Chain A
Amino acid sequence: MSGRDSGSKPALLVIEEVAGKCIRQLSLGEPYGGSQEIDLVINFDDGTQLAIDIDMASRLSFEIEHLAPDSKGEMEPVKKSRKGSIRALARQDGNRGKSKSGTKGSRA
């Protein structure tokens, strides 16, 4: 991942690990109606998975996990998950990311 953060300006977190991968399935899920926690799961053709748990209880918090099937075919994390706001995660990643700031607001 790489990120960009500058105070109160837009923060951007690029998940570089998935670039070039082909998507088999992308979905958003919630455990029950009105839940404050949802997940975004992307399954890739190479058998790996990107899972992002989004906690919306107060400020948005994201837990990002990369998974791959183990010898028994069960999905296991391939690296330690990371959790925090986009800004906090971007700050951890430093300023290596390319800015996209402000582009999405006008598209929504």
Chain B
Amino acid sequence: MTMRRSLFLIPPLLALLAAPGHADTPGGVQAKNKAVDGEKVYKQICAACHMPNAMGSGGGTIPALAKDKKLADPAYPITIVMKGKGAMPPMSEILSTAQVAAVITYVRTHFGNSYPQPVTEADVKRIAKPGRSME
């Protein structure tokens, strides 16, 4: 039931991208994982490209998140996670703002990063407001 309702709340952009539309993609819809658990979200989403040890891959082409001084200002990871950067797609399509806050908090306190101030859902909403330019 919740899934059905959430379908109508999908912003139009997501609907476009998720639809099989033009690309050669799988059909059907996916169940959404709504767990707000930073470690879990890291493993299920981020680790695919940034790797389980957050060291990145491709000789730096996908950057490491371990010991990353750029994480000091939460606005930087929030903007990139929500809006994407380069080949990285915007994660706002598949993660809730609560999940984004949780996973950024997790990365900022693990992998040799120690920025203990938690990132909140309100931070994510404020910084990644629609229309706010990424540049």
Our verdict on whether A and B bind, yes or no, reads no
Chain A: residues with CB nearer than 8 A to chain B?
none
